[in-house]
Amino acid sequence: MKSLKFAAAFAVAFAGQAMADPAEGVWKTQVDDGAYAHVTIKTCGAAICGTISRTFNEAGEYKSPNLGKQIVRSMKPVGGGKYEGKVWRPSNNKIYIGKIDLAANSLKLAGCIAGGLLCSKQTWTRIK
């Protein structure tokens, strides 16, 4: 009887709290055009979105004009650690079909054209 009361109390205490998406966190991008970034991924409605939170080049951290801009856009989970949506590439200011394949602390991001047939890929590493 005590365990039933505990279970009921637990359910009430956590009712309405959404589970965190496994992609949420801070990710380090690969170097692209001599720079890399830290991207903070959070839920945005039924999707995930990622915003550039820090930028680095060969001299160290710097204040890029891309700070605060959304690079991962409306990526919706499609199952098996995969997401589909849009991705923005700062170096050419273009938006591509985006795909993510998430596995623990590794995030494989693809920006694609031609309906997803031709893709440029990066592997990001979770920082926190």
Is the predicted pLDDT of residue 93 greater than 60, yes or no? yes
Whole-number Å distance between alpha carbons of 93 and 88: 7
Using pLDDT thresholds of 50, 70 and 90, give the confidence band for residue 114.
confident
101 or 13, higher pLDDT? 101
Please tell me the pTM assigned to this model.
0.81
**% pLDDT > 70, the chain:** 85
Tell me which residue of 87, 15, 81, 78 sits closest to 46, measured CA to CA. Answer: 78
The hierarchical CATH code for the domain 25-127 is 2.40.128.520
- The tokens describing 18, both together, are 């959404």
H or E element that contains 79: strand 70-79
Picking from 4-18, 20-34, 96-110, which range would have the lowest pLDDT averaged per residue? 4-18
Is the predicted pLDDT of residue 9 greater than 60, yes or no? no
3-state helix, strand, coil in the chain (%, to 5): 10, 60, 30
Read off the pLDDT of residues 38-53 as tens digits, 9 standing for 90 and up.
999 999 999 999 999 9
- Neighbouring-strand partners of residue 89: 94
- Identify the pLDDT of residue 18: 55
CA within 13 Å, CB half, 38: 13
Q: Cβ distance 39 to 45 under 8 Å? A: no
Using pLDDT thresholds of 50, 70 and 90, give the confidence band for residue 19.
low
Listed by start position, the domains of the chain span 25-127
